[in-house]
A and B are shown apart, each in its own frame.
Chain A
Amino acid sequence: MAEKVIFAMYDDDDKLMDGAKHLVANDVKVSDVYSPMPLHGIDSIIGIEPTRLAITAFMYGITGVILAMIGIRYMMIIDWPMNIGGKPNFSLKENMLSFVPIFFEFTVLCAAHGMAITYLIRNKTLPGMPPRNPDPRTTDDKFVMEIKTSENTHIKESVLSKLIKDTGFLEIEEKSIV
Chain B
Amino acid sequence: MHKESDIRLPLILGDKSYKDITDDVIRPIEASPPKTWYILLMISIVIALWGIGCIIYLLGTGVGTWGLNKTVGWAWDITNFVWWVGIGHAGTLISAVLLLFRQKWRFAINRAAEAMTIFAVMMAGLFPLIHMGRLWLGYWVFPLPNQFGSLWVNFNSPLLWDVFAISTYFSVSLVFWYIGLIPDFATIRDRVSKPIFKRAYRVLSFGWTGDAKAWNRFEQVSLVLAGLATPLVFSVHSIVSFDFATSVIPGWHTTIFPPYFVSGAVFSGFAMVQTLMLVLRKAYKLEAYLHVKHVEYMNIVIIVTGSIVGVAYITELFVSWYSGVEYESYAFLNRATGPYWWSYWAMMTCNVISPQLFWFKRLRTSLMFSFFMSIIINIGMWFERFVIIVTSLHRDYVPSSWTYFHPTWVDIGVYMGTIGIFFTLYLLFSRYFPVLPIAELKTILKSSGKNYKEGYGKGKGYWDKHSGH
Contacts and interface: CB of A to CB of B under 8 A. Distances in A.
B15 interface: no
Contact of B168 (A48, A108, A129): A108
Given A36-B18, A84-B154, A133 B190 contact: yes
B160 A102 contact: yes
Nearest to B208: A125
B439 A36 contact: yes
Given A116-B175, A116-B179, A129-B206, A33 B211 contact: yes
A33 B179 CA distance: 20
Interface stretch (B124-132, B181-189, B263-271): B181-189
Given A75-B143, A116-B179, A141-B22, A32 B212 contact: yes
Interface string B164-176: 1101100110011
Contacts of B223: 54
B224 A57 contact: yes
Contacts of B218: 38, 119, 123
A75 B152 contact: yes
Contact of A71 (B143, B231, B439): B143
A124 interface: yes
Interface in A14-31: 14, 17-18
A76 B152 contact: yes
A53 B19 contact: no
A104 interface: yes
Contact of B186 (A57, A108, A139): A139
A105 B238 CA distance: 12
A138 interface: yes
Interface stretch (A39-47, A158-166, A170-178): A39-47
9 contacts: A32-B211, A36-B210, A99-B155, A106-B164, A113-B172, A128-B206, A130-B202, A139-B208, A141-B17
Given A43-B212, A116-B225, A125-B207, 12 more contacts: A13-B446, A32-B211, A35-B215, A37-B442, A54-B224, A104-B231, A105-B165, A109-B164, A112-B175, A123-B214, A127-B206, A138-B190
Interface of A: 13-14, 17-18, 32-43, 46, 48, 50-51, 53-54, 57, 71-72, 75-76, 79-80, 82, 84, 89, 95, 98-99, 101-102, 104-106, 108-109, 111-113, 115-116, 119-120, 122-133, 136-141
